[in-house]
Amino acid sequence: AQTVTQSQPEMSVQEAETVTLSCTYDTSESNYYLFWYKQPPSRQMILVIRQEAYKQQNATENRFSVNFQKAAKSFSLKISDSQLGDTAMYFCAFMAGTYKYIFGTGTRLKVLA
Amino acid sequence: NAGVTQTPKFRVLKTGQSMTLLCAQDMNHEYMYWYRQDPGMGLRLIHYSVGEGTTAKGEVPDGYNVSRLKKQNFLLGLESAAPSQTSVYFCASRAGAAGELFFGEGSRLTVL
């Protein structure tokens, strides 16, 4: 069975600093996709970043980047120059096959002024 | 640009009552999903649909039914609500194989 594990239920970071959120997954699939979603207090989930497993290069979106270690089945999210608006719950997600999305339990990030 | 719209946003039910949550998407997406979100448990898949007229069970389907009579709509029904179904429900849709999920704003359901 495929699983996604986020071992940090809560984290905090000072504004302008860098923080890394951890995610590990377990699968026997060779081709899959990994995602980080953000859920701000407004509740609506939005995509932060996506990584295709067959791509070796780590994905980057502005201040957000990932460290994808396929052999270790690790997919961490790094947020640089943290801003107050980054305060949210962050979910790591895995997708393989045609339909199945599996989410981790989330990491609540608080950015401190 | 509506995206994914869920109605209602909030609802309080008594045990044993029934209700339907409506999800509508205007992006012509094939895949639609219903998740529930509970504290410390992330999002768990209730049911999903890979196209009009098709539905399938996810990991926590018991107590729920779904229908997708039109491509743009995905309905989630509770026939006899139980307190264990108190949760926030999210609908999501996506276009193709590698597509991101687009989420609705969520529906908070409380069963007393």
Beta bridge partners of B89: B36, B107
pLDDT at res. A44: 85
Q: How far apart are the first and last CA of chain B?
A: 35
Chain B positions touching A33 (Cβ under 8 A) are 98
Mean pLDDT per block of 10 residues along chain A (113 residues) reads 90 97 92 93 89 90 95 96 96 83 93 96
Cβ(B21)–Cβ(B64) below 8 Å: no
Q: How far apart are the first and last CA of chain A?
A: 41
Work out the average pLDDT over B15-30.
Answer: 96
Report yes or no on B108 lying in a domain. no
pLDDT at residue B69 tops 90: yes
* Cβ–Cβ below 8 Å for B106 and A43: yes
Cβ(A33)–Cβ(A47) below 8 Å: no
B112: distance to nearest CA of chain A, Å?
A: 23
Per-residue pLDDT reduced to its tens digit, B81-107 = 999 999 999 999 998 766 789 999 999
CATH of the domain at B61: 2.60.40.10
Could you give the dihedral angle defined by the CA atoms of residues A102, A108, A109 and A110, in that order, rounded to the nearest 10 degrees? Answer: 160
Q: Which fold has domain A3-112?
A: Immunoglobulin-like (2.60.40)
Work out the average pLDDT over B55-84.
Answer: 96
Closest CA to B86 of B2, B9, B13: B13
Per-residue pLDDT reduced to its tens digit, B46-63 = 999 999 999 999 989 999
What domain range is B82 assigned to? 4-97
Report yes or no on B34 lying in a domain. yes
Closest CA to A10 of A76, A108, A81: A108
Confidence category of residue B1, pLDDT binned at 50, 70, 90 = low
Cβ(A75)–Cβ(A66) below 8 Å: yes
10 Å Cβ neighbour count for B7? Answer: 13
Report yes or no on B107 lying in a domain. no
Return the residue in B5, B55, B101 with the most chain A beta carbons within 10 A, the one to mutate for interface testing. B101
